[in-house]
Amino acid sequence: MPMRVGTETAANWCAATAAESSPCEGRKMMKAIQFTERLLLVLGVVLLGLVAAALIHRTLYSRLALAEFDRNQAALAQDMPLQGATLQTDERADFTLWSQKRIRDYRASLAVKKDAPLAVLEIGKLKVRVPVFEGTDDLVLNRGVGWIAGTARPGETGDSNIGLAGHRDGFFRGFKDIAVGDSVELATPGVVSRYTVDNIEIVSPDNIAVLRPRGRPSLTLVTCYPFYFVGDAPQRFIVHAALKEQVGVR
């Protein structure tokens, strides 16, 4: 009796091999590859467009907050003409080093947080000019710098230490380049406080001693460290600055 099963199996294998090697099937495969390439190209363009839109949206909202603060400063200057420094309204933070996650989080925060800034932090060397909002939750830190509750409020003097926090992959990305002797300005309604960086340290997250009064009017800036660590950073990068002068806006 002939081995019918074996013969049919061999025939089927031969037919499949012939079909796979046929010019028609080859053309179909090439078309599928080309379609996939085009689809990936379109998706890439769309993603780039979304990133660009997020950058524009974030920049505009931050500038609106800064413009609102500057308008209030100008109104105060008209009511109480004092000698001092004029805030520049045409500067903005450099967002080019921000992580994609921070960009997405910032964009999401815009629809929720609408409060006016308490102050404006400016570090000329790092090209940072950013609004300061109350609190340090994610919504605050995604669109600006947060005032740390329990520390002195922006504008206070005496034996006070003002604590501000920012994201290492956002507005405080450039902190890797800050150094002792750099100038920092904190503008509050009617007043500009100028500080000089006098100490930089790296501490554990539970070290709250860095926020205690330092015996002189001070500003302490906090962010996570290392700057390019993947995941939750294990340390904190602390910048201490002492008050140099405090002047009224004009």
How confident is the model at residue 100, as a pLDDT? 76
Mean pLDDT of 181-194: 94
How confident is the model at residue 16, as a pLDDT? 53
pLDDT reading at 1 higher than 50: no
Label residue 8 by pLDDT band (50, 70, 90). low
Query: What CATH number is associated with residue 101?
Result: 2.40.260.10
In this structure, of 59-68, 94-103, 126-135, 219-228, the range with the lowest mean pLDDT score is 59-68
How confident is the model at residue 20, as a pLDDT? 52
Provide, rounded to the nearest whole percent, the portion of the chain with pLDDT above 90.
42
Q: State the Cα–Cα distance between residues 167 and 171, nearest whole angstrom.
A: 6
Q: State the Cα–Cα distance between residues 77 and 247, nearest whole angstrom.
A: 12
Mean pLDDT of 96-100: 74
Tally of CB atoms within 10 A around 8: 10
Find the domain containing 50 and state its range.
23-248
Confirm whether 160 is domain-assigned. yes
Confirm whether 12 is domain-assigned. no
Q: Which position has the higher pLDDT, 7 or 65?
A: 65
Tell if the pTM clears 0.75, that is, is over it.
no
In this structure, of 30-34, 191-195, 240-244, the range with the lowest mean pLDDT score is 30-34
Domain count, the chain: 1
Q: Which position has the higher pLDDT, 56 or 105?
A: 105
Confirm whether 17 is domain-assigned. no
Confirm whether 5 is domain-assigned. no
Confirm whether 8 is domain-assigned. no
How confident is the model at residue 45, as a pLDDT? 84
Confirm whether 82 is domain-assigned. yes
Instruction: Identify the top-confidence range among 18-22, 68-72, 128-132, 228-232.
Output: 128-132
Confirm whether 7 is domain-assigned. no
Q: Which is nearest to 185 in space by CA: 75, 91, 77?
A: 91
pLDDT reading at 64 higher than 60: yes
pLDDT reading at 216 higher than 70: yes
Beta bridge partner(s), residue 237: 202, 223
Per the CB < 8 A criterion, the answer to whether 191 and 245 are in contact is: no
Confirm whether 16 is domain-assigned. no
